[in-house]
Amino acid sequence: MLPLAGDFESVEDVRAFRTALRGWYRTHRRDLPWRRSRDPYAIWISEVMLQQTTVATVAPRWERFLRSFPTLERLAGASEEEVMAAWSGLGYYSRARNLHAAARAIARGGRFPSTSASLQKLPGFGPYTAAAVASIAFGERVAAVDTNVERLLSRYLGVVGSEGRRSRLRRAAAALVPPARAGDHNQAMMELGATVCRPARPSCGECPLAPGCSARRAADPARFDLPRGSRRPRQVTLEAGLARRRGRLVLVPDLEMVRGHLTLPCTAVEEAGQPGAALGRRWPELAGRTARRVRSLGRISHSVLDRRYTVHLFAVEEGDRSAARPLVTLVRPERVPTLARGSFLDKALSLSAEEEQGTEKRARSATGKGSTSPSGAAAAPAPGPPPPGAAPRRPTG
């Protein structure tokens, strides 16, 4: 006997929904690397990475992470610094900390929990992640309901209003899960929501569920979307300094953007202040040296959760030791990719590299120096490699 929710009038309605969805998924499913695995550890890593991060970004990072930590035991035995370094650039770093803590808890327990209820006792396992892992890896008959599934069902069933809405959608999702291949069903629901029943410009003409969809009949899918809570972004202005000692970058623990990372020394400032003045004054306590000179390198836009950063980057020429003894790490530029760091540091190094190349080009133009070709025209100098540690992407966005 199939479980029924009030939104489905008969067993035939549920079966028709499942059949249409299963046929579409068999033909249109994306070939994603984690879908070729039934290893609960590998599936879990993919589900955590996919939270708030696009599939295109996750695919190569998932494979790289598993090369670094091929088993749960390897992850559990790693240091937090190693895990954070492997996670760098994916954002939402509490995910990495919870992942590490849960791996250690599972390793202590001796086996990977196989039910949604038992998984939810671990750090970082909410109802969705627990249901996804339990259904895909172990076949548990439980609905994995993410925002894609909520949107799909809300539109299909024509659900409006906020009171009891999520509970109603979860009951409907549970009614649809088949007794066999629950994991494939859950992935099909998420796939359809992500690729066809999209938040903006859904492809209703390509949807296998269109004949029974309330939103399609109303010709207004957005009317049935769940209201999204919006938090006003917080604007933060910083000054950050890029300095080198004996050819090594001066880095400090990140106390502003992401805990557990290394970053450039920085300080919050008011937009109206003299550029670089606050950074120069605070450099002795930030980096343990005086600042002889600060020179502007440009501006970087960066976002972390609800914070929108405007960072004015300066090259700092250091002077004598100060009385302060902050925690400073000196890093060779070529070692930067191995560090636990956020994308802000990559942006800063990229901006610095561009500025240095521009300065060299202007200097050559001003002096008129350079070799000449046989025709007498000045030959363009061969471009050298970018400074070690510079990231390839531009420092905007």
Q: Are 49 and 91 in contact (CB under 8 A)?
A: no
Residue 185: Cβ-neighbour burial (10 angstroms; 0-12, 13-18, 19+):
buried
66-86: b (≥16 Cβ within 10 Å) or e? beebeebeebbebeeebbbbb
Q: Are 151 and 228 in contact (CB under 8 A)?
A: no
The single residue of 12, 47, 81, 271 carrying the catalytic annotation is 47
The residue type at 217: R
CA atoms within 13 A on the CB side of 167: 3
Map residue 325 onto helix, strand or coil: coil
Active site residue 334: no
Angle at 257 between CA 275 and CA 266, to 5 degrees: 30
What is the signed CA dihedral for 291, 295, 297, 300, rounded to 10 degrees? Answer: 50
Sheet holding 307-321, edge to edge: 266-268, 234-242, 307-321, 289-304
155-to-66, 163, 207 alpha-carbon distances in Å: 37, 16, 12
Give the DSSP H/E element, type plus range, for residue 81: helix 80-87
For the chain, the first-to-last Cα distance in angstroms comes to 53
The span from the CA of 57 to the CA of 42, in Å, is: 16
The span from the CA of 175 to the CA of 170, in Å, is: 9
Q: Annotated catalytic sites, by residue?
A: 47
